[in-house]
Structure 1
Amino acid sequence: MNESLVEAVREVVVAIPPGSVMSYGDIAERVGTGPRQVGRVMGLLDEAAPWWRVVHADGTPATCHGGRAQGLLDDEGVPMRGTRVDMRRARRP
C-alpha cells in the first residue's frame, strides 16, 4: 500500500472531532482516491485512529472491531436515526 496514501487517510481520520463522522467517500474525495481504497487503508491504521468515526455513506457504522462502533458513536453523542448515523447532522464538512 502506498505510504503517502496511508498517511493522508490517517491525517483526515484523526482530524474528525468527537461527535462527528465522515464517510469512506468523504475521505476518498479529500485524499484523491476511491472509497474502497480508503477502506483498505482503514484496516492498516492502529487503534489510536478513531476508526469508528468513519461510516458508510448511508450512515451505517463499521462492523469490524467486534461491532464496537455503535457504542463508541453513542458515547460521543453522535446523532443517530435508529441504528444509522444521521449524516445530515453528524457529517464533518
Structure 2
Amino acid sequence: MEGQAGVVPLTGAEEYAAAVLALVRRIPPARAMTYGLIAEIVAEDLGRGGPRQVGNVMAASGDRYQHLVPENAVVVGPAQDDFAVPWWRVVNAAGSPPARHLTAALDALRAEGCPLTRDGRRVDLKRAIWFPDEPDVTS
C-alpha cells in the first residue's frame, strides 16, 4: 500500500531504525553516545524501544536498514573508509564499543581524539558523552 504521492510508508521497525540512524549520524567526531541514551531520546518521540533495539538497528545498519540512510551520506571513519553511519561512536553503558569490532572502533575513536579511559579500552563517558541539544562545535 502506498501513501501520499506514491511514497511507501515506513513500517514501525523502519520508523524506529530511521530515528536511531538519524541521531547516530549527528554524533560529532571525538564524542560518543550509549545505546541506552539513544534509546531514551528516540523513545521521547516514538514512545518505544530500548538499548537492545538500538543495538539491533546498529547491527543491521549496513544491510537491512541501509535504505533509510541518505544516499549521499558519508562519514570518514576507521582507516579513512567511508561509512554512512558512524557506528564506532555508539558504546555500551561502560563505554565499551561492540566486542566483535573493538579494535576498529577504538582505532577510529583514537584517530578522532575521543577521550578514552587510562587503559585505552573504553570511552571516558564523563568527557566524551554527547547530548543532541549541545551545539556541534568543530575545533
- Does structure 2 retain, via aligned residues, the 8 Å contact 1:60–1:85? yes
Which residue, out of 43, 56, 59, partners 1:43? 59
The residue aligned with 1:84 is: 122
Query: Which residue of the partner structure matches residue 38 of structure 2?
Result: 27
Query: Does residue 9 of structure 1 match 2:20?
Result: yes
For residue 28 of structure 2, give the secondary structure of its aligned residue in structure 1: coil
Deviations 1:14-44 (A, max 9, x none): 0000000000001000111200000001012
- Equivalent in the alignment of 1:59: 95
List runs of 5+ in structure 2 lacking aligned partners.
1-11, 44-48, 63-82, 132-139
Runs of 4+ that moved beyond 4 A: none
Q: Rg bigger for which structure?
A: 2
Q: Report if the CA contact (8 A) 1:59-1:86 is conserved.
A: yes
Larger relative contact order (Cα-Cα within 8 Å, sequence gap ≥ 6): 1
Structure 1: segments with no counterpart, 5+ residues: none
Q: TM-score if structure 1 supplies the norm length?
A: 0.92
Aligned residues between the structures: 93
TM-score of the pair, normalised by structure 2: 0.63
